[in-house]
Amino acid sequence: MLPLVLDAVPEQTAELAELERAYDTYAPEMFRFLRRLGVPDAAVDDAVQDVFFVAWRRREDFQGRSSQRTWLYGIARKVARDHRRRRDRARHETPELDRLPAGSDPAAQTEAAEAARVVDAVLARMSETLRETFVLVEIEQLTAPEIVEILGVPLNTVYSRTRLARAQFRELASALLEPGSSRP
C-alpha cells in the first residue's frame, strides 16, 4: 500500500502531534476492537489506519463533549461496518492465519489465540447490535456511560442490550463448547 498522505499543512504540526499521541495511546485497543467486530486479520491494518485517518479528517467535529477514546470507538465501529460490508460484497475472504498475540510465552499465546477463536465464533453468530454492545462491555470493558457516547443510545438501552448480549453469548458459547460440537 502506498503511504497515506494526510491533508495536513505545516501549520498543523500541533494537531498532527495530537493525532500521533492518540494513535500511540489507542491504536492497540482499536486494533482489538476492530478484530472483535469481525474485521479480518488481513484487513485490520487498513481499518486501523482508516480510524485515525477519519479522526484526522473529522477533527473539527470533535467538540470535547465526549472523551477522545469514546470518539475513536465510535469511528472504529463505523469503519468496521464498512469493512464488513465491503467484504460481503466482494464475497471472498482472505483465509485467516493463526493469530499469535504479542508475548513471549508460547502456551499463553496459544491459549489466547484459541480463546479468541471461540469468542469470534460466538460473536459471529450474534446480531450486530448485541455484538457491538457485548464487545464494548466485556472485551473493551468500557463503562455504560462511555458506551452511551459511542452508540448514541440511551443509558437504559445500553443496560438492556448488555443483558441480552450476555444471555445470547452464554447460550451460543454453551452450544459451541458442548462436547461433540464442532469447535471453530
Partner 1 sequence: MTPDDDELARLLSSARQADLPDRARLARIKSQLLPGGVAGVPEPSATQLAAKSALSLKVAAGLSLVVVAAVTYLQVQRPPPPAAHAPAPQTQVTPPPPSAAAPELPPVPHTSDAGQMRPALEHAGAPAAAPAPAPTRVRRRPPVQPAQPTQPAQPAQREPAPKPVVSTLSEETALLRMATLAAHAGRLTEAREALARFDRTFPNSQLKSERDRLLRYITERERVSPAR
Site residues (vs partner 1, CB under 8 A): 1-10, 12-13, 16-17, 19-20, 23-24, 27-28, 31-32, 35-36, 43, 45-46, 48-50, 52-53, 86-87, 90, 99, 101-103, 108, 111-116, 118-120, 138-139, 141, 169-170, 173-174, 177-179
Q: What is the closest distance, in whole angstroms, from the C-beta atom of residue 121 to partner 1 in the complex?
A: 11
For residues 7 and 63, which CB has a smaller minimum distance to partner 1 in the complex? 7
Q: CA 72, CA 66: separation in Å to the nearest integer?
A: 10
* C-alpha cell of residue 46: 487498513
For residues 65 and 141, which CB has a smaller minimum distance to partner 1 in the complex? 141
Q: What is the closest distance, in whole angstroms, from the C-beta atom of residue 156 to partner 1 in the complex?
A: 24
For residues 19 and 80, which CB has a smaller minimum distance to partner 1 in the complex? 19
Q: What is the closest distance, in whole angstroms, from the C-beta atom of residue 127 to partner 1 in the complex?
A: 19
For residues 153 and 176, which CB has a smaller minimum distance to partner 1 in the complex? 176
Q: What is the closest distance, in whole angstroms, from the C-beta atom of residue 154 to partner 1 in the complex?
A: 26
Which residues, including other chains, have CB under 8 Å from residue 27's CB and lie 6 or more apart?
Answer: 48, 52
Q: Do the beta carbons of residue 69 and residue 26 sit within 8 Å?
A: yes
Report how far apart, in Å, the C-alpha atoms of 27 and of each of 8, 19, 33, 107, 143 are.
20, 11, 10, 25, 19
For residues 2 and 65, which CB has a smaller minimum distance to partner 1 in the complex? 2
- 88-97, long-range: CB within 8 Å, 24+ apart, which pairs? 93/40, 94/40, 94/41, 94/42, 94/43, 96/40, 96/41, 96/42, 97/41, 97/42
